[in-house]
Chains A and B, each alone.
Chain A
Amino acid sequence: MAPRDIERVPEIGVASDVYGGTLARTWETEPGIAGFFSTVDHKQIGIRYIVTAFVFLILGGLEALVMRIQLARPGQNLLTPEQYDQLFSTHGMTMIFLYALPVLSGFSNYLWPLLLGARDMALPRLNAFSYWVYVAAGIFMYVGFAIGAGPNDGWFNYVPYASGPFNPGMSMDFYALGMIFLGISTTVGAANFLVTLFRTRAPGMSINRIPILIWGTLTASAANLLVVPAVSLAFFLLWMDRQFGTHFFDVASGGQPLLWQHLFWMFGHPWVYAIVLPAMGMVSDGLPTFCRRPLVGYTPVALSTVATMILGFGVWVHHMFATGLPSLALSFFSAASIIIAVPSAVAVFAWTATIWTGRPVITTAFLFFSSMIVLFTIGGVSGFMTGSVPVDWQLTDTYFVVAHLHYVLIGINLFPVVGGIYYWFPKMTGRMLDERIGRWNFWTMFVGFNIAFLPMHLVGLWGMPRRVYTYPAGIGFDWLNLIVSIGSFIFAIGVLLLLVNVVRSLKHGAIAGANPWDAPTLEWSVSSPPPPYNFAVIPRVVSRHPLWEDRLKEREVRSATQEGLLLDHGRETIATTPLDAVPDLILKMPEDSYMPFALGVALAAGFTGLLLHWWWLVVIAGIAVAASIVIWLWPERELGQVAGVAP
């Protein structure tokens, strides 16, 4: 058979209502329970990710509030030391693993195809699978917490505290297996973002025209692909040590406790950037809309995003300055940690210049995005300080570090995320969030956050150690801790106001229309909420701001959103070349499928079997996993995977 037998000239046409109706029937998910378990629509999956991540954010937040009640006054007995250990460890696990990355995956899942001019992610079924595994792993770990076996050695879980003889019970087994399970979700999600970026951009959206959010998630995904195996392996070796008597971390038999720290932080530090770079990208894309001008310094910001991650691979030892490593190693990692301030500063200066030279429209989203610059700078400076070895020796394991990491994670993750909700909620739901509640929401969160976390720097400098369940009266920690606790409750009220606003606006919010903010990128060219197929015709892109071209007048040519490739022979979208985005293939996109859910359930059963040593269950689940994968990958005629099918 000659190659031309599988080729077709894609038709070019104009989007009409009739045509949209036909496409909708092709792309829409079955309503009801069947569609719920089988959908592969990136928009539904994205919103699910965000909602689930917020459920975990609330759980993690409640855990923090309980700890703050315990610490509000000296010598309290609300919690036993063991309960406190589980609370702060579960709080860290929840916020860092079950909230911070998944919420960004949610935004990226929802937004990527819309930003890129595609009809779905490149691997839609893998996308659904990634979500189901995330939920299952989250439930798995929280079952442990619910039966009193949550993690209890901090989220970084150092050996030998975590080893069998020193930590009997199931806490560590829940955590170890749960983290390996969750790693599957993160990894397949990262692969999906990479393939989506390199294959499914709209014609003409060359690599220098993609939004910064795409750069952020791309960079984070590339890193996750390479570093998640480190932590999965570390937890696997720990589980082997605990259950099968291996000696990886067992000092008496030559095991290496520091191997745990190396593997964990080789993962852990790039992960820190993975959970902020996409959020920084949201700011880089959202802030200019409200400044009524393009981002200042697109190219430096894009390059510094990538540079941050590359440097981020070489800084993990700054978490280990106090472990007695040779001073040459300390010097190298200290230098790398300090140099990373440069690309971070590039972004800060670019955002500041964008506001400075723009005509800012003060909306709630703008307040969240711009305040993030302040919080990022504070968190960056405290990070810069602890990047210096002698300062770190003084401050490690004190509340100064707690203050630093909360400024970084809440400042560069949660504030942009809440700003992103105000910005994209109209696109997702078709309704605006209330701006008046929004102001209260912002100021309560901003003030509460700073009251809660700014004094932590001081209490840390005065020597209060982290991870202690109480402290004695009269050594100078009392009133500062009370202020911190009060601030944390104000902050929590701010988060509650967000939830109130969301619930209220879902029903009563003003109708948004396609482009309520007069924003420049492709997601605003389609209706709110977008139709199941996203784009009736595949847009053709000639600039970074397809919807602002008439005003910016940078060039003569214009992007086309109403006329373009039709692609309506079943579920189709266009594949383009990785750099220049020239069309080179018509992609056949898969129908909805139960296999992602089935595979997720089979894996959950397998991990449960491993946890309980029910080997019969492990065997059955293993067979089910293999069968699910074979059925999933079975070549399909409709997808053009089988010989002799007409195109």
Chain B
Amino acid sequence: MTDVALGQRPLPVGSTRRNTVAWWGVLCLIGTEGALFAYLLFSYYYTALQLGDDFGQPRHPQLELSLPNTIVLLTSSVFVWWGDRSIKRGQSAQFFIGYGIGLLLGIAFLVIQTFEWRSQTFSLTSGVYGSLFFTVTGFHMAHVIVGVLALASILVWAALGYFDENRCVPVLVAAAYWHFVDAVWIAVFFTFYLTPYFW
């Protein structure tokens, strides 16, 4: 590889955009958390395949709440993406709107999800399917709660005037985590709500 010259070239100082250590750190976090959900879903599919017809999952999982709720969560990602783009362009007002709505939609997801939990005919201890359902969706909910707290912290810090288009790494980090949590939901939703229809 080539040698590096130490030219008199100006370099950015401190936390800025995607070359900071924090950005690489959140990528590692997403990697390890992604692996966690892969193992959770592996546990589901492994048990399902071993048990076959005895698995006891509903043939037609209810989509009345879960499908709209999926749309709520994905929409929140769109708003967060828009807020993220706005702060990088220095558009503070749009950022607050984007993250604010993203946060509210995240909370809405959690509320709807508790109704979804309460409407199930099985429970955590009724059988291995119920154990898997509530544990996997519970893990996801815990991640949504962390994401909501992260978005809330970002909004507080932004309100204190900490961020502009140069100094906005925490905003980007929280957005990355939020998109990850939403992407995981797609995998969880597909696994628990859609695959039984094709079983």
> Do A and B bind?
yes
Chain A residues close to B by CB (< 8 Å):
1, 3-10, 12, 122-123, 126, 187, 190-191, 194-195, 198-200, 203-204, 206-209, 225-230, 232-233, 237, 240, 244-248, 250, 253-256, 258-259, 262-263, 266, 540, 542, 557, 564-565, 569, 575-576, 579-588, 626, 630, 633-635, 639-645, 647
- Asked if A247 and B164 make an inter-chain contact with CB atoms under 8 angstroms apart, the answer reads no
Tell me whether A247 and B131 are in contact in the complex, defined as CB-CB below 8 angstroms, given that A191-B28, A584-B19, A588-B13 are known contacts. yes
For the complex, is B35 an interface residue (Cβ under 8 Å from A)? yes
Binary flags per residue of B149-176, CB closer than 8 Å to A gives 1, else 0: 1000100010001111111011000000
B167–A248 contact, CB under 8 A? no
Q: How far is the CB of A251 from chain B (nearest CB, A)?
A: 10
Query: In the complex, what residues of B have CB within 8 A of residue A194's CB?
Result: 24, 28
Chain A residue contacts of B54, Cβ below 8 A: 254
Beta-carbon nearest neighbor of A228 in chain B: B32
Q: Contacts A225-B32, A229-B32 given: A199-B24 contact, CB under 8 Å?
A: yes
Asked whether, in the complex, the Cβ of A254 is within 8 Å of the Cβ of B127, the reply is yes
Question: Considering the chains assembled together, what is the distance between the CA atoms of A248 and B43 in angstroms?
Answer: 9
Query: Residue B121 at the A interface, CB < 8 A?
Result: no
Given contacts A9-B9, A225-B28, is CB(A233)–CB(B36) below 8 Å? yes
Q: Is the CB of B164 within 8 A of A1?
A: yes
Report the separation of the CA atoms of residues A203 and B31 in the bound assembly, to the nearest whole angstrom.
27
Tell me whether B119 is interfacial, beta carbon within 8 Å: no
Contacts of A634 in B (CB 8 A): 157
Q: Cβ of A644: which chain B residues have Cβ within 8 Å of it?
A: 164, 167
The winner among B15, B55, B129, B165 for most chain A CB atoms within 10 A is B15
Are B163 and A266 in contact, with the CB atoms below 8 A?
A: no
Interface stretch, picked from B45-53, B69-77, B95-103, B178-186, is B45-53
Cα of A206 to Cα of B127 in the assembled complex, Å: 54
Q: Classify the secondary structure of B's interface with A.
A: helix
Q: How far is it, in angstroms, between the C-alpha of A581 and the C-alpha of B5 when the chains are bound?
A: 11
- Sorted nearest first, the 5 A-B pairs with minimum C-beta distance are A640-B14, A191-B28, A206-B1, A647-B13, A229-B36
Are A229 and B39 in contact (CB-based, < 8 A)?
A: yes
A-facing residues in B93-131 (Cβ within 8 Å)? 124-125, 127-129, 131
Chain B contacts for A4, CB-based, 8 A? 10
Cβ–Cβ contact A641 & B164, under 8 A: no
- Interface residue SS majority, chain A: mixed
Which of B11, B127, B129, B164 contacts A583 (CB under 8 A)?
A: B11
CA distance A228 to B33 in the complex (A): 10
Q: Which residues of B contact A12 (CB under 8 A)?
A: 6, 8
In angstroms, Cα B164 to Cα A641, docked, is 10
A262 with B157: CB separation less than 8 A: no
B132 CB, min distance to chain A CBs, angstroms = 8
Query: A459 → chain B, closest Cβ, in Å?
Result: 37
- Output the least CB separation between A194 and chain B (Å): 6
Least Cβ distance of B16 to chain A in Å?
6
Complex CA–CA separation, A635 to B16 (angstroms): 12
Whether B56 is near chain A, meaning CB under 8 Å from some CB there, is yes
List 5 additional contacts besides A4-B10, A6-B14, A635-B163; criterion CB under 8 Å: A187-B32, A195-B25, A233-B40, A254-B129, A587-B14
B63 part of interface (Cβ distance < 8 Å): no
Q: Which residues of A contact B13 (CB under 8 A)?
A: 6-8, 569, 585-586, 588, 640, 647
User: Would you give 23 A-B contacts (Cβ < 8 Å), ordered by A?
Assistant: A1-B166, A12-B8, A199-B24, A225-B31, A226-B32, A230-B39, A232-B36, A237-B135, A248-B131, A254-B54, A254-B129, A256-B47, A256-B128, A259-B46, A262-B46, A540-B6, A557-B3, A576-B4, A584-B19, A641-B15, A643-B164, A645-B14, A647-B12
Q: How far is the CA of A165 from the CA of B68 in the complex (A)?
A: 42
Instruction: Tell yes or no: B20 within 8 A of A by CB.
Output: yes
* Nearest chain A residue, comparing its CB with the CB of B173: A633
**Does B187 belong to the interface (CB within 8 Å)?**
no
Q: Is the CB of B25 within 8 A of A123?
A: yes
Report yes or no: B125 in contact with A247, Cβ–Cβ below 8 A.
Answer: yes
Do residues B127 and A253 form an inter-chain contact, with CB atoms below 8 A?
yes
B167:A245 contact, CB within 8 angstroms: no
- Residues of B within 8 Å of A254, CB to CB, are 47, 51, 54-56, 127-129
Question: Would you call B2 and A580 a contact (CB within 8 A)?
Answer: yes
Collect the chain A residues with CB atoms within 8 Å of residue B3's CB: 204, 542, 557
A198 to B167, CA, bound (A): 22
Shortest beta-carbon distance from A642 to chain B in Å: 5
Q: Is B65's CB within 8 Å of the partner chain A?
A: no
Q: Is B29 an interface residue (CB 8 A)?
A: yes
**B21 at the binding interface (Cβ < 8 Å):** yes
Question: Is B162 touching A246 in the complex (CB atoms < 8 A)?
Answer: no
- Which residues of chain A come closer than 8 Å to B55, judged between CB atoms? 254
Tell me how far the C-beta of B105 lies from the nearest C-beta in chain A, rounded to whole angstroms.
21
Judging by beta carbons under 8 Å apart, are B14 and A588 in contact? Answer: yes
**Bound state CA distance, A448 and B10, in angstroms?**
60
Bound CA span A463–B129, Å: 42
A3 to B127, CA, bound (A): 58
Shortest beta-carbon distance from B45 to chain A in Å: 11
Which of A557, A565, A643 is in CB contact (< 8 Å) with B167? Answer: A643
Instruction: With both chains docked as a complex, state the minimum distance between the C-beta of A219 and any C-beta of chain B, in angstroms.
Output: 15
CB contact between A8 and one of B11, B28, B39, B43 (< 8 Å): that residue: B11
- Given known pairs A229-B39, A580-B4, A635-B162, the reply for A244 and B128 (CB within 8 Å) is no
Given A1-B165, A195-B25, A256-B46, also A639-B14 (CB < 8 A): yes
Given contacts A233-B39, A254-B56, contact A641 B162 (CB under 8 A): yes
Question: CB distance B166 to A225 under 8 Å?
Answer: no
Q: Shortest CB–CB separation between residue A239 and chain B, in angstroms?
A: 11
CB distance from B115 to the nearest CB of A (A): 22
Q: Which residues of B contact A8 (CB under 8 A)?
A: 10-11, 13
